[in-house]
Amino acid sequence: MQKRMLGKSGLEVSAVGLGCMGLSYGYGPATEKADAITLIRSAFDQGVTFFDTAEAYAQGANEELLGEALAPFRDQVVIATKFGFEGGDVQKGVNSKPDNIRAVTNAALKRLRTDRIDLLYQHRVDPDVPMEDVAGAVKDLIQEGKVKHFGMSEAGVESIRRAHAVQPVAALQSEYSLWWREPEKAILPLLEELGIGFVPFSPLGKGFLTGAIDAKTGFDKSDFRNIVPRFSEDNRKANQALVDVLKQIAASLNATPAQVALAWLLAQKPWIAPIPGTTKLHRLKENVGGAAIELTPANLGDIDAQLSHIRVQGERYPAHLQARVGR
């Protein structure tokens, strides 16, 4: 597994990380603890050194899982977590008040069984707390040695600039993939300008780009995708065209659609490190394999040409969640 630097921060991570949310939250019932620990440790064995969690993923349970799984090799990995929701509950709205940031960080350190958090993200921008106060609070934690690097998630251009002026932002984590390329307009140029790394979440389109989901797929009642407009039955049927093209391109490269989707992201910028999530060992191995595929300029041109005429149908968030991003 190749390593990458997240911008100018000096933070080195594996080219492909592991998003751990789905092991505890968001995509149906939580994975059995023993199976989840096996998967996380298998990722490490395959060269993954970048692991992502958050207080809001089952209100700390995901952090506890990660802390136990990574304890044997804590010093060889980069752990990223996030603050920013009231009581770690997405339903209760955002809270990035400095005293909450400190309380959440101290609790996360205990759950993660560590003395420092390598990368601490603000999960969503809080419109009621000045960005300077948020960055200042994290700066204090960095000076105390409890946090190594500051990150933001789904933040807009102005918020990133304001935060970066107080405490350099090491990485932005936002959605980016072959079916959500909005960051290319304003976010990627800004990150390049400021020397900030980019960590795409949902790099496989919440599973859709793997080719394993179609219009007939049923989701567990607790699966977040049930409320995502892009995953309505009609939109999945319409968006199948993108996956069909991806399958053809992957076949020509002796790869899978997921591997091509990840390789495409890695080819965009040398400071991009996607964090696909999975609960399945065979998918983990497949995703890790995506880092070994090098797409040529001709490959990339072919992908852009073939996908340029396909318009993805459906919003990526329902309206109440869309209001929290890009601030």
Count of CB atoms within 10 A of residue 294's CB?
Answer: 9
Domain boundaries, the chain: 3-322
Rounded to two decimals, what is the model's pTM?
A: 0.96
What is the rounded CA–CA span in Å between residue 61 and residue 92? 17
| Percent with pLDDT over 70 in the chain | 100
One-character DSSP codes across 184-214: GTTHHHHHHHHTBEEEEESTTGGGGGGT---
Residue 105 confidence (pLDDT):
98
Q: Give the torsion sign (CA, 262, 264, 265, 271).
A: positive
* Collapsed DSSP state (helix, strand, coil) of residue 175: strand
- Both tokens of 153, joined, read 């998630």
- Both tokens of 67, joined, read 């802390």
pLDDT of residue 318 exceeding 90: no
Beta strand segments in the chain, E: 3-5, 12-14, 18-19, 50-52, 78-83, 117-122, 147-153, 169-175, 197-201
Residue indicated by tokens 């339903």: 91
Residue 317: pLDDT band by 50, 70, 90 thresholds? confident
Count of CB atoms within 10 A of residue 219's CB?
Answer: 15
| Percent with pLDDT over 90 in the chain | 88
**Mean pLDDT value across residues 13-20:** 98
What one-character DSSP code corresponds to residue 272? B
The one catalytic residue among 25, 27, 57, 176 = 57
pLDDT in tens, 42-79: 999 999 999 999 999 999 999 999 999 999 999 999 99
* Collapsed DSSP state (helix, strand, coil) of residue 34: helix
Q: Give, rounded to a whole angstrom, the gap between the first and last alpha carbons of the chain.
A: 34
β 12-14/3-5 pair status:
antiparallel
Query: 3 with 11: CB under 8 angstroms?
Result: no
pLDDT in tens, 101-150: 999 999 999 999 999 999 999 999 999 999 999 999 999 999 999 999 99
β 50-52/197-201 pair status:
unpaired
Answer yes or no: 317 catalytic: no
Residue 7 confidence (pLDDT):
93
Residue indicated by tokens 């009621």: 128
pLDDT of residue 260 exceeding 90: yes
Type of residue at 58: A
* CB hemisphere CA count around 163 (13 angstroms): 31
**Mean pLDDT value across residues 280-291:** 97
Residue 327 confidence (pLDDT):
87
What is the rounded CA–CA span in Å between residue 228 and residue 268? 27
Residue 28 confidence (pLDDT):
87
C-alpha torsion 326→270→50→185, nearest 10? 10
pLDDT in tens, 264-284: 999 999 999 999 999 999 999
Query: 78 with 53: CB under 8 angstroms?
Result: no
CATH architecture for segment(s) 3-322: Alpha-Beta Barrel (3.20)
Residue 319 confidence (pLDDT):
84
Query: 44 with 14: CB under 8 angstroms?
Result: no
One-character DSSP codes across 37-77: HHHHHHHHHTT--EEE--TTTTTTHHHHHHHHHHGGGGGGS
Residue 323 confidence (pLDDT):
81
pLDDT in tens, 193-225: 999 999 999 999 999 999 899 889 999 998 889
Lowest mean pLDDT among 19-23, 26-30, 43-47: 26-30
